Structure 1
Amino acid sequence: MSAPAAPQSSPAEAGIVPFASPAAASGAAHVERPVAYDAILLASFGGPEGQDDVIPFLRNVTRGRGIPDERLEEVAHHYRAFGGVSPINAQNRQLKAAIEGELARRGLDLPVYWGNRNWAPYLDEAVTDAAACGYTNLIAIATSAYSSFSSCRQYREDFARVLDDTGLAGAVTIDKVRQFFDHPGFVQPFVDGVRDAVAGFVAEGLSPSEIRVLFSTHSVPTADAQRSGPREGDDLHREWGEGGAYAAQHEAVAAYVMAEVAASVPGAAGIGWKLVYQSRSGPASQPWLEPDVNDVIAGLPGEGVKAVAIVPLGFVSDHMEVLWDLDTEAMDAAAQAGLAVVRTQTPGVDPAFVSGLVDLVEERLNGTPAAERPHVTRFGPWFDVCRPACCENVRAGFKPAAAGIAP
């Protein structure tokens, strides 16, 4: 399913994209010229792999914010409950291997270099290793599908920092695939999971009014959310609503998933759903996106709901936020509310997801016109080159960033 392509926007007067391939450097929203990339950079968040790693890892995550170790320990217990090991690195090893397998199946000779923001292997190592092997035209895939500072712009800032810090700026270019929140390969595993959960509830004799689907994603500061996506004055700006492009993208994908489920599961039409948030970490005085998943679950029995499907819509794999915030805390909240509950799967290494990621790389290798790119919401296909001031960090301001027009 494809909605009409978003209009092209003209680059700003000084809209040269730093650190970019020549095809992306002009600032056009969609790069419709083939680019001869020679390697893929898989960029992720990273996570500790033992108890001794936990506090150093959390120091990396919160660097520059002056948070003392005793406060970090309040979060560390999530990791300590799993032996100090975050699942994310193992998941990325599996994803890297799956991408390599799909590339080989298609006959694409592109090595995959994997690097993290906050733990080994670091992005600096990945980029320098690629350059040492003669690979200098990189196309990046970040393991985050939506538009916000932490899920898009911060990765672009990471790329710029790495190129500057390693002295490779000018010798290595890094472009980035478009945000893939509404690419069919990312969305289909969620459709499958919700369909199976809802079909199970219906088979148990529950009516639509007794079933609720909660689509959960990571909360972010409201001020940051409002600055996600193209800003006013850009041709690609929309009236996103209070949660900016970040919330609007999630809402659009959730609506698509529910429409697909209603069309494929007899008795599923009319099931209610809601976008909810989890994992907030800021001070109580700072507004973050709401409502919280656990608060919503607690109120469901009062609405006559007997069963709930929790969908980790904001996550590509079973990160610690999924294992702790959903599989532990949200499951406990559902049990206390007396609800039947299913937590649906993340894309992980689902073949549709892996194939979709390679499709995104091929779009850029081939210069696929925007009108021919698959997407399932009215917001797609999202752009290749981020727009000026997109996804500003309210606290830190703008830093140099790859794959986008400054600032």
Structure 2
Amino acid sequence: MTAIDPNVVPFASPAAAGGAPIVTQPVAYDGILLAGFGGPEGQDDVIPFLRNVTRGRGIPDERLEEVAHHYRHFGGVSPINAQNRALKAALEDELARRGHDLPVYWGNRNWTPYLEDAVQEAAANGDTTLLAFATSAYSSFSSCRQYREDFARVLEATALGDTVAIDKIRPFYDHPGFVEAFETGVREAIEGFLGDGVAPAGIQILFSTHSIPTADAERSGARDIDWGPGGGYAAQHEAVAAWVMDRVAQTLPAAREVPWELVYQSRSGPASQPWLEPDVCDVIGELPGRGRQAVAVVPVGFMSDHMEVLWDLDTEAAEAAEEAGLRFVRTPTPGVSPAFVAGIVDLIEERLEGRPLEARKAVTGLGGSFDVCRPGCCENIRAGFKPAAAGIAP
């Protein structure tokens, strides 16, 4: 492998090592690295899994048990691993259908199979130039940079940093393959409510995503872009939500009269630490006072129906809507829909072919979706900068 200056883009392929934001040089990748969060697959796994999630924070098991009941409610099994198995198989099929002989290696941050295992398996097979797809679409520490730190940590821990290169697919928040499910879901929800006799002004659309600390949000995305309040994370979600509502209104004019807003869920930090608001359940409780009779919650921040969707939306938000006397619908996530799987392979082909920016698919025009992350983007102010692959240091 060509020697790489670690102060530019560590652990990168030669094409990405120079730090250009968009890589227009084709790369003959050996394999795809599907990088997930991980989840328990039985009651005995729950606390060890949560210890992994909160490692280094000194949280006692009795406090972890307060979160564990979400998993225990579903038999101690998070759906996320099964979803990633299905996604891996679907990606392999779509890659083969398009004539790409690329194995897909799957590894998680917090539970088996771990990223270390996936990278070592790839290296043992002679697949040393990998393109990573992280299972989160937006720019923030937890959804982008932390995965890049994971790659660097794993390469250092396995002593494969001089052998294996890992590039990362750009944030794909506004790729048409990702957003199609949300557009379809919103349209069907509004049509259903209208069919039940609810007037457009009586319907509320809530686009929901994972809350993150306000300090992290303000530092999300490239630093040289003025994202406004909430940084790139909030701006990207707002842009997708606005695009979805506009698209729905093009074929369903009544949708232009339906109010919508971006809300947050699943906060887990101490009460003293500011996180992005408003909370989805708090807003649902206010809707009768706004004259609403029905609410559709759109999990715009999520790829699949994992625990934050099943518990925080399908359980808690649904209960909040019932208490408020509201009709409630939760719209679908992309999951392994053919459009989403095809969209991921489109993103892979961008890097295989070195497609220029103007040849890449995006629906919002917001920008800030880079192949090589910019210096200092998505900082975690509490932990500082750690080594990270697929971006210019720090």
Compute the displacement of 1:378 (Å): 2.2
Q: 1:208 deviation in Å?
A: 1.6
- Specify the alignment match of 1:380 in structure 2: 367
* Residues 158-194 of structure 1: per-residue CA shift (max 9 Å, x gap): 0000000001001000000000000000001110111
What is the aligned length?
Answer: 390
Q: Deviations over 1:294-326 (max 9, x none)?
A: 000000000000011000000000010000000
Whether 1:403 and 2:380 are equivalent positions in the alignment is no
Letter in 2 for 1:363: E
Give secondary structure in 2 for the equivalent of 1:126. Answer: helix
Answer whether contact 1:194 1:311 (CA < 8 A) is retained.
yes
**1:101 correspondence with 2:88:** no
Would you say 1:332 and 2:319 are equivalent positions?
yes
Q: Deviations over 1:107-157 (max 9, x none)?
A: 100000000000000000000000000000000000000000000000000
1:217 matched residue in structure 2? 209
Are the equivalent residues in 1 in contact too, given 2:222–2:368 (CA < 8 A)? no
Name the structure 2 match of 1:281. 268
Is 2:171 aligned against 1:184?
no
Secondary structure of 1:46's aligned partner: coil
Q: How far apart are the structure 1 equivalents of 2:73 and 2:204?
A: 30
- The aligned amino acid for 2:259 is G
**Matched residue type, 1:321:** E
Q: Following the alignment from structure 1 to structure 2, what is the Cα–Cα distance between the partners of residues 271 and 261?
A: 11
Picking from 274, 280, 304, the partner of 1:317 is 304
Q: Which residue of 1 aligns with 2:248?
A: 261
For 1:279, the aligned partner's letter is: S
- Structure 1 residue 15: Cα displacement: 5.9
1:251 to 229, 234, 238: 238
Look up the SS of the partner of 1:274 in the other structure. Answer: strand
How much has 1:268 moved relative to structure 2?
1.9
**Contact 2:193–2:294 under 8 Å retained in 1:** yes
2:393 partner SS:
coil
Identity among equivalent positions (%) equals 73
- RMSD after superposition: 1.1
Q: Which residue of 2 aligns with 1:87?
A: 79
Secondary structure of the 2:364 match is coil
Structure 2 counterpart SS, 1:108: coil
Q: Is the 8 A contact 2:170 2:371 kept in 1?
A: yes
- Choose the corresponding residue for 1:77, options 60, 69, 80: 69
Aligned AA (1:257): V
The alpha carbon displacement at 1:205 in A equals 2.2
User: d(CA) in 2 for partners of 1:103 and 1:167?
Assistant: 30
Give the CA deviation at 1:371: 1.0
Query: Deviation string for 1:17-76 (max 9, x for gaps)?
Result: 000000000000000010010100000000000000000000000000000000000000
> Retained in 2: the 8 A contact 1:182–1:380?
no
The answer for the alignment partner of 1:129 in structure 2 is 121
Q: 1:40 aligns with which of 18, 32, 35?
A: 32
Q: Provide the C-alpha distance between the structure 1 equivalents of 2:38 and 2:58, rounded to a whole number of angstroms.
A: 20
Which has the higher mean CA deviation after the structures are superposed, 200-209 or 101-110?
Answer: 200-209
Distance 1:335 1:263 in 2: 31
Q: Structure 1 CA distance, aligned partners of 2:389 and 2:307?
A: 28
Report which stretch shifted further, 87-96 or 196-205: 196-205
Q: 1:14 to 1:349 in 2, by over 3 A?
A: closer
Match for residue 240 of structure 1? 227
Structure 1 unmatched ranges of 5 or more:
1-12, 232-236
Distance in 1 between the 2:94 and 2:39 partners?
25
Does the 8 Å CA contact 2:16/2:167 hold for their aligned counterparts?
yes
Q: CA deviation at 1:381?
A: 6.6
Q: Does the Cα contact within 8 Å between 1:15 and 1:26 map onto a contact in 2?
A: no
Distance 1:27 1:296 in 2: 42
List alignment gaps of at least 5 residues for structure 2.
none
* Residue in structure 2 matched with residue 10 of structure 1 by the alignment: none
Q: TM-score, normalised by structure 2?
A: 0.98
| Structure-to-structure mapping, 1:354-393, within 5 angstroms | 354-380=341-367, 382-393=369-380
**Which letter maps to 1:35?**
V
CA distance in 2, matches of 1:295, 1:37: 46
| Residues 356-395 of structure 1: per-residue CA shift (max 9 Å, x gap) | 0000000000000011101011223711000000000111
State the match for 1:30 in structure 2: 22
